[in-house]
Amino acid sequence: MSDYTQMWRDLGLNLEAHDMLLNVLGNAYKDIYLSQKNRPEGMGYFDFVMSEVHGLRIKELIDEKAQGRKIIGSYCVFVPEEIALAANATLVGLCSGADFAIEEVEKYLPRNTCSLIKSAFGFKLGKVCPYLESADMVVGENTCDGKKKAYESLGSLITNLYVMDLPQMKSEQGKALLKGEYYRFKEAVEKLTGVKITGTSLKNAIKTVNAKRSAIHRLSELRKADPSPISGLDALLANQVFFYDNPARFTESVNKICDELEKRIQDKQGAVPAKTPRILLSGCPMAVPNWKLPWIIETSGAVIVGEESCVGERGTRNLVDESIFNLLHNAGDGVNESSIDDNQIIDKMMDAITDRYFKVDCAIFTPNQERLNHIVEMAQNYKADGVIHYSLQFCQPYIMESIPVDKVLEDKNIPTLRIETDYGMEDAGQLKTRVQAFIEQLG
Amino acid sequence: MNYAGIDIGSRTIEVVVVNDYSDIICSLQADTGFDPIAEALKLFYAVEERGIKYESIMATGYGRNLFEIAYANLDPVSNSKKLNLTANCSAITEIKAHARGVAAFFPNAATILDIGGQDSKAIALNKNGRVKKFEMNDRCAAGTGKFLEIMARTLGFTIDDFGKEALLAQNDLTINSMCTVFAESEVTSLIAKGSDRREIAKGLHISVMKRAVSMINRIRAEQYSDLIVFTGGVAKNECMVKLISEKLCCDVLVPDNPQMIGALGAALIALEQQTCKTSKLYG
Ligand code: SF4
Ligand code: SF4
């Protein structure tokens, strides 16, 4: 590993605290990931990415910046990567998966705030996140009340915070609001980078992000096999790295793993023995390094076969409709940037982008029947023996929704376990008992 | 052949040994103390001293995984005289163990309430005695044996008399806090105000009862029978049994030795797993 100390210092990180974080992260990764058996060889790539998550990848971003690209950080899957890419910017997810600087955080946030929001503040206040510190723009979004109000305070800590408004209902008005916000975001990004989005650049961006999602879809499809060719932890990691990595390289690496998994399936080789109880995990996003619950599940004799989560299928479901590109060809070369045609084409693409994101069934929407349907559908498609619903403590939207989720699954005779937890390890023993008892119940 | 079950709880440890016919041939109990694994091993020494042998051990309770690991790594030199090191040891959760243990005494039980030292749980069973659904208290001690123990101490009762004294209360008194820390200060201020100790005790029992009942109600919908069995140390508390049965308008049955149920269930599962293996071998 190279020495990145100077780079971290230049970014203004608190080196001592940062060392501490890397240490914790490294140990957790070793205990949770590297101790797994029968991992696909292709996971070596992700091991490397994780070992360099604050190193090489940050250096790449800094190099991109030196060449005039801008870095945009985001906290939610509603922020469209396509728009960032089309305007010569790179979008990175800001993970918020660990507690940090808790006492400092509680000067800004009430104690009963979810771990994710607290963590976002902790990483800023502790000066330990190189992604956050290298970002030229940080996008917050009006989703749950917690985040909405938290961004008001976060604005005093992050000067380049941009807040995106989001609808709460899946109505025509809601969709118009989302499209309007995506246009406003487009202008903000264009202003930041000084690069105007063209039909061609937006088309290429859509293709890049669709390819990344398709690779994940392919991976998910392969997890339907019994025995599952990959552990849930490893698949979760791929879904987590989705948010940081260079998109093209990510797509290539995931596809490579998929080739390997296809072979494994042919050879009836699994990450776990056949007939291992299969779990669908549903609920709040799981950001790096929040691996606690998946780890407990998979060390209790079960395998996770799908994540109904924003770091998972809720975040990656559906592609942006590419049939729109035919129009582009019909309109000629499409490179004529100043023509009215190009604006019309861009508008059509903005519609297609809006359509795709508008389908994300986050619990902040009301009503949200689509999510219930998707959970049942996923449980059936991935042949899950049971569903574990995971909510972060104090996350009102997902905790509230867990009750109808439980009901709808019970009606379908799918066993369900509801878990409420946070990033701390104090409840690990109790969680283990619950999860083990649930798995016994399935067996 | 014999089979041992051990339930390592936060307050007590129980060992039960059954024979091939599911008869209990030995049952022992000890306080958990500060070194649960050492206490657990001492119980097995005691079993061996009685000349009782066992084929396998099934561990349950919060210490189950620790015990499983510790047992696999026992030093053969210092332990071979005192212990049968060839027995293989595995673990199951207390939820499965209680379901099995209760079925041995009450084959028609549909619901189990288990309140132990640091956990409380409600378990719904289906007709063949398997776990259908369960609820557990979250990480705090509210509604558990620990809560009652601390409150008994605050009021100057022994834990054994706590329920009996509460039953003698003339009136009900409401305790608002479920949190152990807040409830303790609420109790202290009630004592200072001169409230009757037994009434305070009753109020505390009522608050634990409410929590238990709401847990039962969450899992009991559409259960095929009314029969509720109460296990764990708190099942020995007469006041608690009475309050829960009154609130739910049905009988609440308590096995003779409610603290042994987990260890018994574990021993029976060890026996069944063995039988299952043997029948696979020969069948
Ligand atoms: S759960 Fe909702 S708010 Fe959170 S990342 Fe997903 S879409 Fe955004
Ligand atoms: S986990 Fe829940 S409370 Fe926390 S940010 Fe997401 S939606 Fe909001």
The pLDDT value recorded for residue A331 is: 55
Ordered alpha helix ranges (H), A273-368: 292-298, 313-316, 324-330, 340-358
Answer whether A73's CB lies under 8 Å from A131's CB: yes
How big is the CA angle at A304 (ends A299 and A307), to the nearest 5 degrees? 135
* CATH assignment of A5-205, among 3.40.50.11890, 3.40.190.10, 1.10.10.10, 3.30.70.260: 3.40.50.11890
Helix (H) or strand (E) holding B111: strand B111-115
Q: How far is the CA of A286 from the centre of ligand 2 (A)?
A: 11
A425 touches chain B (CB under 8 A): no
Q: How far is the CA of B2 from the centre of ligand 1 (A)?
A: 55
Q: How far is the CA of B146 from the centre of ligand 1 (A)?
A: 39
The rounded distance, in Å, linking the Cα atoms of A151 and A396 is 17
The pLDDT value recorded for residue B280 is: 56
Answer whether A242's CB lies under 8 Å from A212's CB: yes
pLDDT tens-digit profile of B75-126? 888 777 778 778 889 999 999 999 999 999 999 899 999 999 888 999 999 8
Ordered alpha helix ranges (H), B117-220: 145-155, 159-167, 180-192, 197-220
pLDDT tens-digit profile of A45-96? 999 999 999 999 999 999 999 999 999 999 999 999 999 999 999 999 998 9
A427 touches chain B (CB under 8 A): yes
Q: Mean pLDDT across the stretch A331-342?
A: 56
Answer whether A199's CB lies under 8 Å from A349's CB: yes
Environment class of residue B184 by beta-carbon count within 10 Å: exposed (0-12), middle (13-18) or buried (19+)?
Answer: middle
A430 vs B contacts (CB less than 8 Å): 119, 136, 138-139
State the DSSP string of B15-34. EEEEETT--EEEEEEEE--S
Is A90 near ligand 1, meaning CB less than 6 Å away? no
The rounded distance, in Å, linking the Cα atoms of A347 and A341 is 10
Is A76 near ligand 2, meaning CB less than 6 Å away? no
The rounded distance, in Å, linking the Cα atoms of A428 and A296 is 8
Domain B2-95+261-282: which topology?
Answer: Nucleotidyltransferase; domain 5 (3.30.420)
Distance spanning both ends of chain B, measured CA to CA: 19
For residue B15, what are its two tokens? 């060992």
Annotated domain spans of chain A: 5-205
B111-115 and B24-31 as β-strands: parallel, antiparallel, unpaired? unpaired
The pLDDT value recorded for residue A330 is: 60
The rounded distance, in Å, linking the Cα atoms of A390 and A283 is 5
The pLDDT value recorded for residue A406 is: 95
Q: How far is the CA of A150 from the centre of ligand 2 (A)?
A: 11
The pLDDT value recorded for residue A337 is: 44
Counting residues of chain B whose pLDDT is more than 90, the rounded percentage is 68
- Bridge partners of A73, per DSSP, are A92, A138
pLDDT tens-digit profile of B238-249? 999 999 999 999
Q: Nearest by CB to A434, from B96, B130, B136: name it.
A: B136
Q: Mean pLDDT across the stretch A18-34?
A: 95
Is A116 near ligand 2, meaning CB less than 6 Å away? yes
C-alpha closest to that of A93 among A369, A363, A398, A315: A315
Strands (E) in A142-277, as ranges, are 161-164
State ipTM.
Answer: 0.85
Q: Whose CA is nearest to atom 7 of ligand 2?
A: A144
The rounded distance, in Å, linking the Cα atoms of A438 and B280 is 26
Is A305 near ligand 2, meaning CB less than 6 Å away? no
Average of per-residue pLDDT values in chain A = 95
Q: Nearest by CB to B96, from A427, A430, A440: name it.
A: A440
B56-60 and B88-91 as β-strands: parallel, antiparallel, unpaired? parallel
Q: Identify the closest residue of chain B to A403 by CA–CA distance.
A: B218
Annotated domain spans of chain B: 2-95+261-282, 108-254
Q: Which atom of ligand 2 is nearest to A145's Cα? A: 8
Q: Check the CA dihedral A332-A334-A338-A344 and report its sign.
A: positive
Is pLDDT at A215 greater than 50 in this prediction? yes
Check B136 against A430: CB less than 8 A apart: yes
Is A77 near ligand 1, meaning CB less than 6 Å away? yes
Lowest average pLDDT, out of A210-214, A249-253, A289-293, B272-276, goes to: B272-276
SS3 (DSSP) at B133? strand
User: Which superfamily is assigned to B108-254 in CATH?
Assistant: ATPase, nucleotide binding domain (3.30.420.40)
C-alpha closest to that of A361 among A397, A412, A323, A321: A397
Is pLDDT at B150 greater than 50 in this prediction? yes
**pTM for this one?**
0.91
CA A243 to chain centre: 6
The pLDDT value recorded for residue B267 is: 97
Q: Identify the closest residue of chain A to B66 by CA–CA distance.
A: A429
- What is the residue type of A208? T
For residue A148, what are its two tokens? 């909405």
Environment class of residue B273 by beta-carbon count within 10 Å: exposed (0-12), middle (13-18) or buried (19+)?
Answer: middle
Q: Whose CA is nearest to atom 2 of ligand 1?
A: A362
C-alpha closest to that of B238 among B202, B196, B191, B187: B202
The rounded distance, in Å, linking the Cα atoms of B257 and B240 is 16
Q: Mean pLDDT across the stretch B226-233?
A: 92
B178: confidence class by pLDDT, cuts 50, 70, 90: confident
The pLDDT value recorded for residue B25 is: 95
The pLDDT value recorded for residue B87 is: 87
Show Cβ contacts of residue B256 under 8 Å, excluding neighbours closer than 6 positions: none
A338: confidence class by pLDDT, cuts 50, 70, 90: very low
Q: Cβ–Cβ contacts within 10 Å for residue A52, how many?
A: 16
Ordered alpha helix ranges (H), A223-339: 232-241, 247-266, 292-298, 313-316, 324-330
| Ligand located closest to A167 CA | 1
Q: Check the CA dihedral A183-A188-A192-A196 and report its sign.
A: positive
A432 vs B contacts (CB less than 8 Å): 65
Q: How far is the CA of A144 from the centre of ligand 1 (A)?
A: 8
The pLDDT value recorded for residue B279 is: 65
- Bridge partners of A391, per DSSP, are A420
| Ligand located closest to A115 CA | 2
Counting residues of chain A whose pLDDT is more than 90, the rounded percentage is 93
Q: Mean pLDDT across the stretch A394-423?
A: 96
